[in-house]
Structure 1
Amino acid sequence: MSTAPGPVVGLDLGGTKIDAALVGADGSVLDRHTVPTPAADGAVAVLDALAGAARAVDRGAHAVGVAAAGVVDPRTGTVTASTDTIRGWAGTALGAGLAERTGLPVACDNDVRATAGPELAALDAESTLLFVAVGTGVGGAVAADGRMLRGAGGVAGHLGHLPSPEAAGLPCTCGARGHLEAVASGPGITALYERLADVRVDRLQTVAERAAAGDDHAVRAITLGATAMGRALGGLANALGPDRVVVAGGVPRIGPLYRDALDRAFAAELMAPLRHLRPALPRHGADAAVLGAAALATTAPLHHPRTHSAALHQKQTH
């Protein structure tokens, strides 16, 4: 691993948009840029879009950090597995491909692990962190005794693929059945409501609005998804003994019905030494992902461009 003095470009790659930021050595955001993700156009188009977003904010950056959707192995810089949200994304040489396009060293990791990095950095040196992001999918990150776990192939922390009794028989985006994501994610809760009420709805927020208006099916769908998430987190807490548990993402923001059900289910699972724990909101706001991405330049392996590309980048930026 190498350090990258001076500013770093942080990129947050999602299924719909790419957020880019130039992040100073002090952690301040010096510039921002957002572009749509050409997810339907394949991996080459996405790499080109990432490089374009990086160039839009690059004013003397020393490296690029990428927080990317999918299962990412930071050591090889490769996307080892992915859903079809980005077409042909699995198998992409993310680190090498982006380094060639930008002429800069590139560090990369899964988006949720990268986002959890600043949370871990704010804790004591030997702390254990359990971090989950609940949105279109259910992603997560686990740090033990101050060290972020990446695991074989970069798969560590993918909490959405834990077996869940509440999801029994339901298809998961990974191709299996009965996984947590199928019932606890935004689409999972929405689909559950549709089955219970025998209606079609456009989005999770509609389900939340109907629950607030007293729709019993909506209340049941939200509380079941939240309960499944809370039980899974409580079981993981018993296995890991975390100092801090963080629940991030869009789904927890739909209202107190979800958060209260999650908190109750989490607390009911805890062993006695952990009963003081409660899931917390993330410390960092909308910039958490790009800040975490930029931090990868000092915490993850760097993938370097070939000499020709590096020379071209120097020519373009000076």
Structure 2
Amino acid sequence: MEKKLIGVDLGGTTAKIAILTKEGEIQEKWSIKTDISDNGSHIVRDIGDSINQKLTDLQIDNDEFYGIGFGTPGTVNYETGTVKGAYNLNWVEEQPVSEDLKRLTGLDIALDNDANVAALGERWKGAGEGGANVVFVTLGTGVGGGIFAEGQILHGIRGAAGEIGHVTVMPENGYQCTCGKKGCLETVASATGIVRVAKDMAEQFDDKSKLVELIHADKKISSKLIFDFEKDGDPFAKQVVEKISFYLALALSHIGNMLNPEKIIIGGGVSAAGDALLDPVKRHFETMVFPTVLESTKISIATRGNDAGVIGAAWLVLPNSEA
């Protein structure tokens, strides 16, 4: 009997859950609502109950699984299997996630940060193509990342490795970041950051632009809309994309020069812009990196979308000989 894997990708709105083969192919996939009421005290129980019910429905026994891999927001203690500081889940105090979920399901649990498991998913079954040195950058509401180096996910001494969103790209006159410092990549390359850059730049733009007209009319705009205008040839949108691509390339060049990964993969909602984002980022990146890095480190767009998290989480419970 070939054992299977379970992956959980916990978010503030939903928890995505999947059953996968040990080769990383998804066989069953579903999601449940994340109930953050009562300080998030229902979250783990709801996930455990959902998994138990699914295994009962499918008539699959626990001994057919290696365990459950679990990706979560917040600061993860990998030794104790606990999480704290996941404010979008109302998990302010430390949560014994692994202990509670194991008690509910009877399965072994492996816990990691949600950005790390997304990186693992793209590295294992996506654009990373199984490489031993892969960096994943996710551009969404915020900017996060995960670093897979020499065949291992990097955590750092306090679990903060891969905080790519807080690389400083605007050392002077930078925007205030939620982390407390100024000029972070997240303030200019997240979905909200791109809109902020556009609104500020619009004040100085005096040529014709439909995008500027919308901004001046106080219409709601999004990062997607900015890229759509750029693709349509709007001159102002092109300037905005050029600027945020420069900042993103600057941060990625630091990663490239320090780590020399095989691949730097850009994911998250903003990455849906595809080549409109990738091409200018590559162009700037190539002017900023050491020659050896230029020859060997490639930048690409993520391919696994919303499945990256459950795939990467499942990878956590593969035996070392398989992983």
TM-score scaled by structure 2?
0.80
CA RMSD of aligned residues (A): 2.8
Q: Does 1:20 align with 2:17?
A: yes
Q: Distance in 1 between matches of 2:121 and 2:230?
A: 34
TM-score scaled by structure 1?
0.81
Q: Distance in 1 between matches of 2:51 and 2:284?
A: 42
Q: What does residue 254 of structure 1 align with?
A: 273
Residues 33, 71 of structure 1: alpha-carbon distance in 2 compared, 3 angstrom cutoff: same
- Whether the 8 Å contact between 1:129 and 1:144 is mirrored in structure 2 is yes
Q: Does 1:193 align with 2:193?
A: no
Q: Distance in 1 between matches of 2:50 and 2:20?
A: 14
Cα deviation, residue 285, structure 1:
5.0
What percentage of residue pairs aligned between the two structures are identical?
27
Letter in 1 for 2:45: D
Structure 1: segments with no counterpart, 5+ residues: 301-318
Deviation larger for 202-211 or 248-257: 202-211
Q: What does residue 76 of structure 2 align with?
A: 72
Cα offsets for 1:73-100 (capped at 9, x unmatched): 3222222444x43323563222223223
Q: Does 1:207 align with 2:226?
A: yes
Q: Distance in 1 between matches of 2:274 and 2:171?
A: 21
Q: Distance in 2 between matches of 1:257 and 1:126?
A: 26
Deviation larger for 178-187 or 84-93: 84-93
Q: Distance in 2 between matches of 1:269 and 1:119?
A: 25
Cα deviation, residue 271, structure 1:
0.4
Letter in 1 for 2:61: G
Q: What does residue 307 of structure 2 align with?
A: 287
Q: Distance in 1 between matches of 2:252 and 2:19?
A: 34
Q: Does 1:161 align with 2:158?
A: no
Letter in 1 for 2:80: T
SS of the equivalent of 2:309 reads: helix
Residues 200, 89 of structure 1: alpha-carbon distance in 2 compared, 3 angstrom cutoff: farther
Q: Does 1:96 align with 2:99?
A: yes
Q: What does residue 146 of structure 1 align with?
A: 151
Q: What does residue 54 of structure 1 align with?
A: 51
- Whether the 8 Å contact between 1:192 and 1:221 is mirrored in structure 2 is yes
Residues 283, 267 of structure 1: alpha-carbon distance in 2 compared, 3 angstrom cutoff: same
Q: Distance in 1 between matches of 2:279 and 2:120?
A: 26
- Whether the 8 Å contact between 1:43 and 1:92 is mirrored in structure 2 is no
The correspondence of residues 290-301 of structure 1 with structure 2, limited to 5 A, is 290-298=310-318
Count of aligned positions: 295
